[in-house]
Chains A and B, each alone.
Chain A
Amino acid sequence: MVFIHPTPKPALKTALAVLRVAFDGVAPVSANMPKRLVPQFVVVERAGGSRPNLVTDAARILIHCFALSPEVAESMCATVDEAMHNSIGTVVDSVFVRGWDNVTGGMSRPHPDVLSMERWQMNGDFMLSTSTPGS
């Protein structure tokens, strides 16, 4: 029997897709810091992760919400949490989302290079199926 190890799906790209829909028209969402600061923006990165089983990739996704006030930054974190939770059980760009778990934050954590803005962070395990839906 030939055993094929499934290739993990792109977790960062999937998280970006989920959050771009959630912040559509409100704040840009990117994997990089914007060249010019705007009043609100979201930066998403992958901070590691694990493979708890063959069919699941648990990507540690770190989300930075930048805003001019802590109240707005906190509400952006709430939007993130809502969007990530609501993505569970859906297919995003051909990737099946199994879960959003082990979540920490939102919490205030000022960025040393962007002290003119509030930065709130949250992170969690974005659990994605390694198999392609429908295959």
Chain B
Amino acid sequence: MKVKFRRGCWYDVRRSSEVVSVLESAADRVADAANGLSGAGDGGYMTGSRQGRRAPQGRWRTSVVTASAAAMVDDARNNTLLKSLDAGRI
């Protein structure tokens, strides 16, 4: 028996709703934790979600960023994002 992969299908698996939902949920948990820890209190930690380039792999990626000046200062002062990462464990 010979297994032949259709490489384009991997791209579709990586953008499937199940995969995206797991990753977005992890990012949401990190952002929620960061906003909870933050002294800024303005919801300044926000998430992003997008698929990487098809070449080489097209992996879906989510991110949590400082989206306000207050959040940037808060993260520089308290390392809030680093301390929130544990909330994203799957």
* Partner-binding segment picked from B7-15, B16-24, B52-60, B72-80: B72-80
Interface size for chain B: under 10, 10 to 19, 20 to 34, or 35 or more residues? under 10
Name the residue on B nearest A123 (C-beta).
Answer: B82
Name the residue on A nearest B85 (C-beta).
Answer: A48
Is B6 located at the chain interface by the 8 A CB criterion?
no
Query: Using Cβ atoms and an 8 Å threshold, which residues of chain A touch B73?
Result: 112
Within 8 A of A (CB), among B32-90: 73, 76-77, 79, 82-83, 85-86, 89
Q: Smallest CB–CB gap between A81 and chain B, Å?
A: 17
Name the residue on A nearest B76 (C-beta).
Answer: A112
Q: Smallest CB–CB gap between B77 and chain A, Å?
A: 5
Task: Out of A60, A111, A121, name the residue touching B77 (CB < 8 Å).
Answer: A111
In the complex, the number of residue pairs spanning A and B with C-beta atoms less than 8 Å apart equals 25
Is A47 located at the chain interface by the 8 A CB criterion?
yes
Majority SS at the chain B contact face: helix
Report the bound CA distance from A121 to B85 in whole Å. Answer: 17
Is A116 located at the chain interface by the 8 A CB criterion?
no
Give the A interface residue count (CB, 8 A): 13
B residues near A (Cβ < 8 Å) are 73, 76-77, 79, 82-83, 85-86, 89
Can you list 17 A-B contacts (CB < 8 A)? Answer: A47-B79, A47-B83, A48-B82, A48-B83, A50-B86, A50-B89, A60-B82, A60-B85, A62-B79, A62-B82, A109-B76, A110-B76, A111-B77, A112-B76, A112-B77, A121-B79, A123-B82
